[in-house]
């Protein structure tokens, strides 16, 4: 897939340049920080995969036995510099639910969310009582267990442990230049949005947090977010 934009550096500043020429200025981080983040991601994702391997195997078996269909759900997402990649998740929906009219329902809600006209349900900006989700899938989403396979995306350098969530293509197609700036860094397993309420926040609040993260990024900020993430998962605020 063709990239939908790119990050460019000029005169000590970093800007996101969308394919249509729109730009949004960003902070510039020292190369040694970026390298440290990459080494940290690679090392920690490998260690975490070894630690959670028994849990991942048990949950994968539960998915296989809970309903017909594959264990993994592979979906195209948009990553750093607008490049598409295949994101891995444990399947939480009935097989075939990502096609046809079901996709149009989600696409319509995403459009309303980005345009600021989506109504919250039970205090959250998300599709509630989604018939596509299996009973086991609701539990996996509640505790973010379905996202464990994304550690492999981190190992492949397609994602980071910390960063903005990876959007869908039809979501990015609705972005303004400011929102495109989220794509200047690698998407993450967790981030400021995930520890601040997730779906309880509006789309623009999520963008604000992502851009704030990009501007203020440091190794210490990543460590702080990773430290707080387990507690946020247990609390389940805004969990999908």
pLDDT digits (tens, 9 = 90+) for 40-67: 999 999 999 999 999 999 999 999 999 9
Confidence of residue 240 (pLDDT cuts 50, 70, 90): low
Query: What is the SS3 assignment for 129?
Result: coil
pLDDT at position 1: 46
Q: What is the dihedral of CA 220, 218, 196, 88, to 10 degrees?
A: -100
**Global pTM?**
0.83
User: Phi/psi at 188 (nearest 5 deg)?
Assistant: -125, 160
Take residue 154 and report the two structure tokens written for it: 């981190």
Cβ–Cβ under 8 Å, residues 164 and 187 = yes
- The CA distance from 208 to 92, in Å, is 29
């Amino acid at each position: 897939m063709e990239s939908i934009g790119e990050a460019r550096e000029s005169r000590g500043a970093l800007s996101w340049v969308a394919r249509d020429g729109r730009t949004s200025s960003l902070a510039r981080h020292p190369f040694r920080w970026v390298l440290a983040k990459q080494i940290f991601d690679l090392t920690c994702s490998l260690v975490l995969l070894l630690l959670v391997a028994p849990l991942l195997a048990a949950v994968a078996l539960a998915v296989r036995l809970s309903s017909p269909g594959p264990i993994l759900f592979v979906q195209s997402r948009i990553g750093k510099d607008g490049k598409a990649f295949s994101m891995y998740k444990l399947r939480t929906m009935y097989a075939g639910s990502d096609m046809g009219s079901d996709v149009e329902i989600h696409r319509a809600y995403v459009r309303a969310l980005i345009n600021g006209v989506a109504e919250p349900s039970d205090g959250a900006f998300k599709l509630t009582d989604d018939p596509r989700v299996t009973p086991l899938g609701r539990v996996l989403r509640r505790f973010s267990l379905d996202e464990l396979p994304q550690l492999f995306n981190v190992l492949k350098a397609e994602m980071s442990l910390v960063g903005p969530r990876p959007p869908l293509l039809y979501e990015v197609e609705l972005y303004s230049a400011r929102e495109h700036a989220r794509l200047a860094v690698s998407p993450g397993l967790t981030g400021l949005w995930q520890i601040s309420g997730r779906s309880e926040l509006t789309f623009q609040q999520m963008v604000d947090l992502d851009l704030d993260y990009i501007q203020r990024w440091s190794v210490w900020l990543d460590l702080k977010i990773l430290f707080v993430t387990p507690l946020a998962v247990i609390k389940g605020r805004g969990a999908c």
